[in-house]
Amino acid sequence: MKKNIVLFGFMGTGKSSVGGILAGKFGMELFEMDDEIERRESSSINDIFEKKGEAYFRKCERRLVKELSDREGLVISTGGGVVLDGGNISDLGRNGVLICLDASPRSILERTGEECYRPLLLTPDPSKKIEELLSFRKPFYDLIPHHVRTDGLSVDEVAGRVLGILERSGWRRDVRETGDVDG
Ligand code: S3P
């Protein structure tokens, strides 16, 4: 069995970029949960939030997680709020190594500042919003077993630290057994 690699973390912590590196390295599929929800809903995340509301979006996330927990060989980049439903963490943990990318409010602001596709940060004071959301969500992110602090690190460096976690958790051994990865 090849376990999924599941990346959690607040918006702007680098889940997609780091996930892309890991997927490339191991020849796995990068599965972007947000992209899949947009595809299924034929609507952007912004539009889903605006027209159907956050609760509806969370239901879409929940439904998708239930499906993903039966799949394998994926690098899954989750949306930053997926941790809010504890069922998501336990479902993804059934067949995945769970890793959370952490960053300070300042790094998050720097990384998300110019972007406008995150409905929760489309407020007059994104800095305050980031701090509020981060402190509310901290206990949820703390439920993830492995963490990588990303402040001041390049995406390659973060990917390197994730690789270290995977090795220590025996994940590479799982992969070698399937013969999918060099060395
Ligand atoms: C959200 C994070 C976003 C996206 C949606 C809600 C959140 O994903 O799922 O805008 O609640 O933190 P990213 O973390 O990939 O930006």
**What is the pTM for the complete model shown?**
0.93
| CA 178–ligand 1 middle distance (angstroms) | 33
- Ligand 1 contacts (CB < 6 A) are 11, 15, 34, 45, 79-81, 118-120
CA end-to-end span of the chain: 18
State the closest ligand 1 atom to the C-alpha of 11, by its place in the atom list counted from 1: 14
Residue 22 reports pLDDT greater than 60: yes
| CA 161–ligand 1 middle distance (angstroms) | 23
Dump pLDDT digits (tens) for 134-168: 999 999 999 999 999 999 999 999 999 999 999 99
Nearest CA to ligand 1 atom 10: 118
State the closest ligand 1 atom to the C-alpha of 33, by its place in the atom list counted from 1: 9
With a CB cutoff of 8 Å and minimum separation 6, the contacts of 97 are: 3, 4, 5, 6, 146, 165, 166, 169, 171
Band (179; pLDDT cuts 50, 70, 90): very low
Q: Which of 6, 8, 11 to mutate to test the pocket of ligand 1 (most atoms within 8 A of CB)?
A: 11
Closest CA to 151 of 97, 108, 89: 108
State the closest ligand 1 atom to the C-alpha of 13, by its place in the atom list counted from 1: 14
| CA 177–ligand 1 middle distance (angstroms) | 34
Return the CATH architecture of domain 4-166.
Answer: 3-Layer(aba) Sandwich (3.40)
DSSP state letter for 121: G
| CA 157–ligand 1 middle distance (angstroms) | 23
Query: In the predicted model, what is the mean pLDDT of residues 75-87?
Result: 97
Domains of the chain, by residue range, sit at 4-166
With a CB cutoff of 8 Å and minimum separation 6, the contacts of 121 are: 11, 112, 115, 129, 130
Nearest CA to ligand 1 atom 12: 80
State the closest ligand 1 atom to the C-alpha of 81, by its place in the atom list counted from 1: 11
Residue 9 reports pLDDT greater than 50: yes
